[in-house]
Amino acid sequence: MINFFSLFRNKTHTPIPDHFESIQALLRRLCSDPKAIICIALGIGLATRLSLVAPRTFPINDGGFWCLAAQRLIENNFALPTSISFNGQNIPFAYPPLGVYLLAFISYITGVNTISLTLWLPLGLNLITILVFSLFALRFFGPTSEFVIASLLFPLFPQSYQWFVMGGGVTRGLGFIALLLCWRACLYASNTHYSMKNSLAVGVFLAAAVLSHPSAGLWSIFGIIIFLSTGLRRFHLWQMIRPGLIAITLLSPWVVLMLARYGISPFIHAFGSGEQMNYGMLLEWSHNWGLAPVSSGLILIGITATIKNHRPQLLLFFMLGLLLDIRGLITTYGAAVSVLLAASGLAFIMQSLEMMGNNEEHSRTNLGVLSKLFCLYVFCHWFLYSIIFT
């Protein structure tokens, strides 16, 4: 039987194709200029999203409700209304209010009507999300090829904009920005001196995420647990709990008001609203959504790469998302983790290909891992999909 790796065994090393060397050289040049990468990512983001918003004259999907909520807030002198009449129903206004306040405040200051703002503000927030994600990726990876790939891949990832450019992106988008800033502050604190200033930043961003969207608050807590727990060897447990206490202090006025008005039921239903997700739907998403089979394969390789590189945080994020918020993992905030894993996977593949011309033993090991992972992914993907959906 012919050994596959014998094809690469020569007296001389296998030459690397010129175009591959050009790609590697380009990545190295881009790594030295993070500002250029961020500008390119913003350009890609604007190009891919503008066509979804520009032809519209009314907020996309659920924008009508948030437009009406902002208008009611202005009419009520920025005091939270008890309820909002929408589609013939009297809906208790127990939603996290930060995004609605932002929408109402901009409309009040500028005089622009809430309909136009609800159409365009989600796009602006989503572009800011691209900027903040790139800054977080730079903090997480450093100026490496993984940072370049992640920054350029994020604006192309459907999860990063499909639920964020519609009207509800006023709340979802603001929550995404807040959670990414919370993660970045946690990462900074775990890698440097953990001061009261750092605790205050983490606590403020956590509170902002909760006041924007419940799922954003949950993913922010994931970041606090994962990034700050790595510093428990150096920091006291109190220094990890302190941001939570700051966030609770900031959230308490709104929470007390909601409990007084509606009781505990809005908080119970907050994570049960919307379309319920299960693991079968995770496979269906992976099977049907555009390039999702490719990206999910890269994610699988990325999980292996993060373990090999002693960077388990992304795997922990992915596991917490699967266990506690599979809907957010698939449709919204999990995009950040998915892109970081996919970038790690693609960078691992490129490094393996580069080693083919430099070190035969390493190339055989890495190619073996890649081929086994690919076969495992194809088998599990199609086998489980056929069991659940046929």
pLDDT at residue 129 above 60?
Answer: yes
DSSP 161: T
- Of 176, 178, 183, 181, nearest to 161 (Cα)? 176
Cα gap 69→76, rounded to integer Å:
10
State the average pLDDT over residues 179-195. 88
Q: How far apart are CA 190 and CA 334, in angstroms?
A: 22
Residues 6+ apart with CB under 8 A from 20: 353, 354
Within 8 A by CB and 6+ apart from 330, the residues are 159, 277, 281, 282, 285
Encode pLDDT of 344-365 as tens digits: 988 888 777 766 555 555 555 5
Q: What is the pLDDT of residue 235?
A: 55
CA-closest candidate to residue 321, choices 216, 190, 248 = 216
Domain ranges of the chain: 275-390
pLDDT of 126: 98
Q: What would the pLDDT profile of 279-333 be if each residue is shown by its tens digit?
A: 555 555 554 444 455 677 788 888 888 888 878 899 999 899 888 888 888 889 9
In angstroms, the CA 187 to CA 226 distance is: 9
Give pLDDT, residue 60.
85
| Cβ-contact 373, 304 below 8 angstroms | yes
Examine the pLDDT at 232 and tell me if it is beyond 70: no
Q: How confident is the model at residue 341 (pLDDT cuts 50, 70, 90)?
A: very high
Q: State which of 162-171, 174-183, 240-249, 361-370 shows the largest mean pLDDT.
A: 174-183
